Structure 1
Amino acid sequence: MNEAAEARRYHYAARLNDALPHYRRALQLDPADDVLRYDTALCMMQLGHAEAAAELFQQIHPASTAWQPARAPLAICLRDSNRPDEALEPAHQAITTAEPQGWQWMLLGDLQQRTGQQTAAIDSLQSALGLDPTLLEAHHLMGLVLQEMGRFEEAIISYETVAAQLPMERINIARCLQHLGQWESARDALAQLHQLQPARVDVMCWLAHVHAQLCEFDAMDRIVARLIAQLRVAAPAADDVPQPFTFATLPLGNDVHRQLLDHAAASIQTAREPLTRVATRRGGRPRIGYLSSDLRHHTVGALLTGFFAAHDRSRFEVYLYDSGRQPASNNDAEHVDHVGSLSDAELTKRLHEADLDILIDLNGPTYGGRPGVLAYRPARMQLGWLGYLSGQQSPWLDGIILDHSLAPADSQWPFSDQVFRLAGSVFPAAEPSSPPRRDRARWQLPDASPVVASFNSSHKLSRSLLECWTEILREVPDALLLVCLAPQAHRGFLRAWESLGGERARLRMLSPMLPEQYLDCMASCDLFLDAFNYQAGATAIDAAMAGLPLLTCPGELPLARLGSSVNRQLGMPDLICNGRRDYVQRAVALLRTPAALAELRQRIIARNQDSALHSAARAADDLQALYQDLLGE
């Protein structure tokens, strides 16, 4: 029996490792045989050698009978080699046969989704399902495309078709329900999935996060206990990767946080080899790039107002890469490039060709980030800043930018990231607009009662925080508490408040409002009681602008020290407490002394003008000084 026949005999028997050596020898004997080349490449593909298989498929001559059958497997190999842009052409060629199959249309739709062609992807996936409605992967991809387009109700319908047979699809349904504001339905979907898959770490993290959003603190604690117990037994599976923002504020301990961050980073870094580049820098101004999906209608974008224009263009050449779905309109960098529709491969190429000296990732491991691009290391140096102010454990970053309040130099840093500390606060901030208006009647607040307030999101709250708040109000019987939370969190907050002895009559609950209304409401309160595990950042800056004192109690990790960073930049260190007992005692003392509160408000209003907290130029100068040090300029 000749080598080709021997190879095919093993191949048909699914003995791929035995077949491949015979295929290779046969191809050496007859290198012009394209059918043999096709069979060899198919065997390589089935063994997981996607890049080598793609190279062979590409060598098949267009006149060969093997050329058309090789189009779809070539597209699959290119896709699996992280080359979706190159895969599009053979995928299009695969459906030019007289009777294309549903899975071929699905492959094209998959590639179009990966390369940002959502509308075309929907058409291709509809063609796939028209030919074969049983293609569960096509239903999943359709849900994914619709979700990316913000068509969450339609996405849920596609996901539900898959979930009937594959329960893990419910995690995608829960994501869409959260986007729709249906938090309780998202919680229920995740709880059902947790019952079916009790060892899944990603499900437990997300479920605990949603419980926190709903202020269901006891339920959150139960899930966290199960999560920690599960991680003691075994590490998460390769396909069980929780999103970092779902566990960032959970009380897991530093070791567990590091473990989960390392696992998430490893899932991204796999199969992504860093690009090579000349180590020496070209002449001219150093090139600084900023990458963010959050420049439009997001806190990060608001904080960066005026920041890019404040750079010294005689010293640095600034590139802004806006990766949001829709471009932001207020970008004022020297070079602005909207890259939201680019695939990872295209964006990696764009950044690499820009020859950036430093690339600043403004997302971190949050929704909309592009870690798959950063893992290729398209810039000489890559740093994380602003979007995720905590340890990241990301091997593609050369460091993260914090400040001396978030990461004190004399404290042990619990993560592997190198920390670069800014001289001032880590936060940039836009210049103050017109002063807010203090009007107690507008918010139905009595003039005679001191009002403590919280404007933090519900997932930043905790049972221990509410225990301190109820104690403060017991000590100051005429004080009121105002909380501003999403309506979905009101019921859970009220239940937790009353279970701790809080009085309903002394509670004012508001829902999110327009930015200028926030400032007016803050100006009408007397004292902002910051959270513990995840403190106010941009909200603390708003409070300062409104003249509202922020009482904060720093914790161990950066997210638990955000308020401290703002207060130090503002020149108000006396509002930084030394532990939770001090937090309660200072709040009580201030609320019992209206004159002291009034004096604090006046100091804050004055410090807004001369502290450089609200100064884009201050933030740009701090970062440019860091860049200069890093580049040895």
Structure 2
Amino acid sequence: MARASRNLIPHSRGGVSASTSNAKRAHQLWSDGLAYKKSGQWLKACASFKEAVKLEPRDALYWLNLAHALNKLGQRTEAMDAARTSLDLDAKNLVTNHLLVQLYRDQRDPAEALAVLNALPPDVTRDERHHVLTGACLAEMGKHQEAISHFLNALQIKHDDKEAYSQLGFSLMKLRQHAQAAECFRTLSVLDPTALDVAMYAVHYSAWACDWDMVDHDKGRLADTMDLLTEASVSEPISPFCLLSISDDPELQKWMAMWDMRRYRHIHPQDPGHYPKRDTQARIKVGMVSCDFHHHATSMLLVEVLERLDKQKFEVFLYSHGPDDGSALRRRVVASADHFVECAKMLPREQADRIRADGIDVLFELKGFTQDTRLATFAFRPAPVQVAWLGYPGTCGAPFIDYIIGDPMVTPLSSQSAYTEHIAQMPICYQPNDSSRHRDVARTRQECGLPPDAVVMACFNQSYKITRELFDAWCRILQRVPAGVLWLLVPDEAVRQRLRLEAARRGISPDRLYFADFEQIDRHRQRIALADLALDTFPCGGHTTTSDTLWSGVPVVSLMGQTFASRVAGSLLSAVGLPELICQNFTEYENKAVALAQETALRMAMRQALLDARDSAPLFDSSRFAVDLGQLIQRMVARSDQGLPPAPLPAEKEPA
């Protein structure tokens, strides 16, 4: 980074001015800039501050105000230069130090931000904000244990510092201390009863801990918080993702999503609704935005379809704001695209400008309310057709997303009212799959610590999806299947202990619960087939987990509800030829699980059918999926080309 003040001698508030008149004029310009700033006229404020620093180039305060204005205008490089100049002139100014730190964080450079914090002279008192920023930088570098000490330091200085509590909660979560994380957000909810975001996180992390008494408590607090909200309420960004495992109410999920979209109301797209007329003879330009174009579940599902998409009809642009992990999957994804654009250091508006400049016809949002989303990019409306797909199983509640891709089972047209997007149905299943997955022979039960002769009933979904009602059902199944054991993907000893205790309370020996650690995906897939059957979670079922399980030849018993997240496994089972394993209530779910557990011949027949399905079922036919997706894209773009608004697109029947 260029430093504009290398030839300047540091001063604390200013230096010797060129003349008294220059000083007076500069001060007046600075005052004018403050007035413009107060009224939100950032262009005029920036112009005034620029003139002030020209007249008084050694005044640190003028440079600081210029840096702030430049940042507001999105001119980050110039803002960093101005902030660095101000800091050179006044190295002890905490405000300037923290502004420069934030600018580096915005650029995703926490190491440089931390260096700025550490360069503060030792005689300057570190306030709570300084400790919070230090902890945040360490957290962004993955050093959560170190970060926690700084958040605790901040709380010692200011015991009710909300950001310190929030950051502490997230770092505890990253260290998989979910009960402690929930307590942080519970405390925040007491400090601010109208904070919807923290009330939701408290529920979510209690669910991760399988602390169901606190889940019920936190759900009650969440309901109380919602009752306090008004249209005038101001809240931090929330994640409706937290609702998926605790509610099967699609209207509640829609309300929550729409509430969160209020944070984008200030964004006014450039030339809204005006896009260059598309050459209908040219390839359709398809853009996809994600941070998951590496070794991640989204890329595992998507990559073969990208490889098989008809490149004579479609030109594919992938906009990545995630890491390059150097994996083979990353290389496959990059190779599948006509253009791979690195966007990690772009702000949403910059990314939107790039997408608009590329002339994208249809832009796919692959994140929704999941980590590191770029919904803000879509708020600038860089493409005439914008589509939500794959990353988030529910509505985004966004007026700037035109379609959500589903299928007749996960998004029946009768559920249109639960979506702000128009439903666009794939003919069979919305989820793509990679048919080049390994077909390795399974590992041994002995290697994985499982009893050799037991009926192993597995669930490889994350612990936050295990609800009290579901665990009740599992224990009733175990009571009816004396030879059965439960195999769960729970790496955390505290959660394991809690589940053992809950099993004992229900009359089930804790010894019948077996736990698996997280492993690399290929190693994990090699052990899935050790299970005799899988029990899906509810109301948030397995998605990639379920397709992996079916690929491994293990039948999955699933309970289908009203939300997208509760219907995915049903769609997958239907697409693989086992719709009889889709259940409508817990009684049916338990009975089918017991029947499968007790009837070895039936299980073995289903296992063989699933293994055969890897070469025949629509679920694993990427070529067919690519054709169907291409046709759906063409239907969306055709409406746009004709000047027609988006509308629901029912599934077209597959040719016989």
**Shared topology, TM-score over 0.5?**
yes
| 1:28 alignment counterpart | none
* Structure 1 residue 365: Cα displacement: 1.7
| 1:316 alignment counterpart | 314
Q: Does 1:358 align with 2:352?
A: no
| 1:127 alignment counterpart | 119
Structure 2: how far apart are the matches of 1:448 and 1:622? 44
| 1:215 alignment counterpart | 210
The amino acid across from 2:83 in the alignment is A
After TM superposition, list the pairs within 5 Å mapping 1:489-508 onto structure 2: 489-508=495-514
| 1:25 alignment counterpart | none
Structure 1: how far apart are the matches of 2:370 and 2:121? 32
- Write out per-residue CA displacement over residues 325-349 of structure 1, whole angstroms, 9 at most, x where no aligned residue: 3353332211112222333343233
Secondary structure of the structure 2 residue equivalent to 1:528: strand
| 2:478 alignment counterpart | 473
Q: Is the 8 A contact 1:384 1:401 kept in 2?
A: yes
Q: Does 1:409 align with 2:413?
A: yes
* Structure 1 residue 113: Cα displacement: 1.6
- Write out per-residue CA displacement over residues 283-327 of structure 1, whole angstroms, 9 at most, x where no aligned residue: 332211111112223211222233322221111110111211335
* Structure 1 residue 599: Cα displacement: 0.9
| 1:171 alignment counterpart | 166
Q: Does 1:149 align with 2:141?
A: yes
* Structure 1 residue 154: Cα displacement: 2.9
| 1:389 alignment counterpart | 393
Partner of residue 291 from structure 2, selected from 290, 293, 300: 293
Shift in CA distance, 42/80, structure 1 to aligned 2, threshold 3 Å: same
Answer with 548-557 or 448-457: which moved more: 448-457
Structure 2: how far apart are the matches of 1:346 and 1:117? 17
* Structure 1 residue 224: Cα displacement: 0.2
Q: Is the 8 A contact 2:432 2:620 kept in 1?
A: yes
Answer with 316-325 or 274-283: which moved more: 274-283
Partner of residue 200 from structure 1, selected from 180, 195, 200: 195
Q: Is the 8 A contact 2:70 2:76 kept in 1?
A: yes
Secondary structure of the structure 2 residue equivalent to 1:306: helix
Partner of residue 462 from structure 2, selected from 457, 465, 468: 457
Structure 2: how far apart are the matches of 1:387 and 1:218? 30
Q: Does 1:595 align with 2:601?
A: yes
Q: Is the 8 A contact 2:541 2:567 kept in 1?
A: yes
| 1:91 alignment counterpart | 83
- Write out per-residue CA displacement over residues 515-561 of structure 1, whole angstroms, 9 at most, x where no aligned residue: 33433332122111111111111111111111000111111000001
Structure 2: how far apart are the matches of 1:348 and 1:131? 44
The amino acid across from 2:260 in the alignment is A
* Structure 1 residue 491: Cα displacement: 1.7
Structure 2: how far apart are the matches of 1:357 and 1:200? 38
Q: Is the 8 A contact 1:390 1:559 kept in 2?
A: yes
The amino acid across from 2:412 in the alignment is P
Q: Is the 8 A contact 2:269 2:380 kept in 1?
A: yes
After TM superposition, list the pairs within 5 Å mapping 1:32-431 onto structure 2: 35-58=27-50, 60=52, 62-63=54-55, 69-97=61-89, 101-128=93-120, 130=122, 132-164=124-156, 165=158, 166-168=160-162, 169-235=164-230, 237-251=233-247, 253-267=249-263, 269-276=264-271, 278-283=274-279, 284-326=282-324, 328-331=330-333, 332=335, 333-411=337-415, 413-431=417-435
Structure 1: how far apart are the matches of 2:126 and 2:513? 53
* Structure 1 residue 33: Cα displacement: 5.3
* Structure 1 residue 69: Cα displacement: 4.5
Structure 1: how far apart are the matches of 2:366 and 2:457? 33
Q: Is the 8 A contact 1:104 1:128 kept in 2?
A: no
Structure 1: how far apart are the matches of 2:42 and 2:150? 30
Secondary structure of the structure 1 residue equivalent to 2:218: helix
Partner of residue 530 from structure 1, selected from 529, 536, 541: 536
* Structure 1 residue 486: Cα displacement: 2.4
Shift in CA distance, 154/476, structure 1 to aligned 2, threshold 3 Å: closer
The amino acid across from 1:228 in the alignment is A
- Write out per-residue CA displacement over residues 460-518 of structure 1, whole angstroms, 9 at most, x where no aligned residue: 11111112112222222222222222224212222222223323233222222333343
Q: Is the 8 A contact 1:244 1:261 kept in 2?
A: yes
User: What's the C-alpha RMSD, in Å, of the aligned pairs?
Assistant: 2.6
Q: Is the 8 A contact 1:307 1:428 kept in 2?
A: yes
* Structure 1 residue 34: Cα displacement: 5.2
Shift in CA distance, 445/38, structure 1 to aligned 2, threshold 3 Å: closer
Structure 2: how far apart are the matches of 1:230 and 1:99? 43
- Write out per-residue CA displacement over residues 139-187 of structure 1, whole angstroms, 9 at most, x where no aligned residue: 3333333222222223223323323314312111111121122334323
The amino acid across from 2:235 in the alignment is D
Secondary structure of the structure 1 residue equivalent to 2:614: helix
Structure 1 unaligned regions, length at least 5: 1-31
* Structure 1 residue 64: Cα displacement: 5.5
* Structure 1 residue 564: Cα displacement: 0.8
Structure 2: how far apart are the matches of 1:128 and 1:447? 62
Partner of residue 625 from structure 1, selected from 631, 635, 641: 631
Secondary structure of the structure 2 residue equivalent to 1:481: strand
Secondary structure of the structure 2 residue equivalent to 1:297: coil
The amino acid across from 1:314 in the alignment is Q
Partner of residue 611 from structure 2, selected from 605, 609, 628: 605
Structure 2: how far apart are the matches of 1:398 and 1:464? 36
Structure 2: how far apart are the matches of 1:418 and 1:131? 59
* Structure 1 residue 135: Cα displacement: 4.1
**If the length of structure 2 is used for normalisation, what is the TM-score?**
0.85
| 1:510 alignment counterpart | 516
Answer with 296-305 or 455-464: which moved more: 296-305
Structure 1: how far apart are the matches of 2:538 and 2:79? 49
Structure 2: how far apart are the matches of 1:271 and 1:75? 22
Shift in CA distance, 499/543, structure 1 to aligned 2, threshold 3 Å: same
Q: Is the 8 A contact 2:484 2:597 kept in 1?
A: yes
Q: Is the 8 A contact 1:321 1:339 kept in 2?
A: yes
Secondary structure of the structure 1 residue equivalent to 2:316: strand
The amino acid across from 1:427 in the alignment is Q
Structure 2 unaligned regions, length at least 5: 1-23, 642-656
Q: Is the 8 A contact 2:294 2:324 kept in 1?
A: yes
* Structure 1 residue 618: Cα displacement: 3.2
* Structure 1 residue 567: Cα displacement: 0.7
- Write out per-residue CA displacement over residues 206-256 of structure 1, whole angstroms, 9 at most, x where no aligned residue: 111111111111210111012112312334941344333233322384454
Shift in CA distance, 135/252, structure 1 to aligned 2, threshold 3 Å: farther
Structure 2: how far apart are the matches of 1:104 and 1:590? 66
Answer with 341-350 or 66-75: which moved more: 66-75
* Structure 1 residue 584: Cα displacement: 1.4
Shift in CA distance, 52/623, structure 1 to aligned 2, threshold 3 Å: farther
- Write out per-residue CA displacement over residues 44-95 of structure 1, whole angstroms, 9 at most, x where no aligned residue: 2234443442244345572467986432212212323454344233323333
* Structure 1 residue 597: Cα displacement: 1.1
- Write out per-residue CA displacement over residues 593-625 of structure 1, whole angstroms, 9 at most, x where no aligned residue: 211111111111111210132243333322211
Q: Is the 8 A contact 1:228 1:256 kept in 2?
A: no
Q: Is the 8 A contact 1:449 1:478 kept in 2?
A: yes
Q: Is the 8 A contact 2:501 2:510 kept in 1?
A: no
Q: Is the 8 A contact 2:542 2:569 kept in 1?
A: yes
Q: Does 1:487 align with 2:492?
A: yes
Alignment length (residue pairs):
601
| 1:9 alignment counterpart | none
